[in-house]
């Protein structure tokens, strides 16, 4: 009888551990943020792994902030990266800052997907995005992977799309997020 209970407990431990809740304090453990620029002659992908962030989830809602240096994006071409830094006003506004707010789900398990409201401060402009879908996967107890694709409009941020041979890049720039968040501390959150 005792052996059966121990086996059952061992089988349930992974399930119980992965059913952690969002309530608590979180820090961004690692990230990859990619942008994709499309032009009729070529496509460019720039990547950054230098984002930093933190967040807090109460019983009612979750609030997170993420910041990434504009100069940290690497497309594999230093001249292109310098030009991107110039057109996005990276010298005057060196950080892309994203504020994320969403209601904390009532169940205890990490949801597979949530809708969040984002406020993005980039190139000196603040733009709001409503009901952005964020995918979530529990990796281990106290760790969650968050993924999303956000399509930014350069014109919304008052950025003139750069041109190559007189033809501008597309205004819509998809941003792909892949982040791992880690729960920290054990302080009570209301």
pLDDT of residue 111: 87
46 within some domain: yes
Residue-by-residue DSSP string for 145-158:
EEEEEEEEETGGGT
Per-residue pLDDT tens over the stretch 99-145: 999 998 876 778 899 999 999 999 999 999 999 999 999 998 899 99
13 within some domain: no
Q: How many structural domains does the chain have?
A: 1
CATH of the domain at 86: 2.40.128.110
- Cα 107 to its chain centre, rounded Å, is 23
Nearest-10 Cα torsion for 136, 132, 120, 178: 30
Contact criterion met (CB below 8 Å) for 159 and 169: no
Print the domain residue range for 58.
Answer: 20-184
Q: From CA 165, how far away is CA 168, in angstroms rounded?
A: 8
Per-residue pLDDT tens over the stretch 15-31: 333 335 888 999 999 99
6 within some domain: no
10 pLDDT band, cuts 50/70/90, is very low
Q: Which pTM was predicted?
A: 0.83
180 within some domain: yes
Per-residue pLDDT tens over the stretch 46-91: 999 999 999 999 989 999 999 999 999 999 999 999 999 999 999 9
Token pair belonging to 131: 């009901």
- Write phi, then psi, for 187 (nearest 5 degrees): -65, 150
14 within some domain: no
């Amino acid at each position: 009888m005792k052996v059966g209970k121990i086996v059952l407990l061992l089988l349930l431990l992974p399930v119980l551990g992965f059913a952690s809740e969002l309530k608590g304090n979180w820090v961004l453990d690692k990230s990859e943020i990619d942008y994709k620029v499309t032009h009729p002659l070529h496509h460019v992908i720039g990547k950054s792994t230098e984002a930093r962030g933190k967040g807090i989830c109460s019983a009612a809602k979750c609030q997170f902030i993420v910041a990434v240096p504009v100069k940290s994006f690497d497309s594999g071409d230093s001249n292109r990266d310098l030009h991107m830094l110039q057109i996005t006003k990276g010298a005057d506004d060196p950080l892309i800052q994203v504020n994320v707010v969403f209601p904390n789900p009532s169940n205890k398990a990490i949801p597979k997907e949530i809708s969040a409201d984002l406020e993005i401060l980039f190139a000196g402009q603040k733009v709001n995005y409503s009901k952005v879908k964020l995918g979530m996967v529990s990796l281990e107890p106290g760790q969650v992977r968050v993924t999303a694709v956000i399509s930014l409009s350069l014109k919304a941020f008052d950025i003139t799309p750069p041109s190559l041979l007189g033809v501008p890049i597309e205004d819509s720039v998809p941003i792909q997020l892949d982040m791992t968040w880690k729960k920290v501390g054990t302080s009570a959150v209301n």
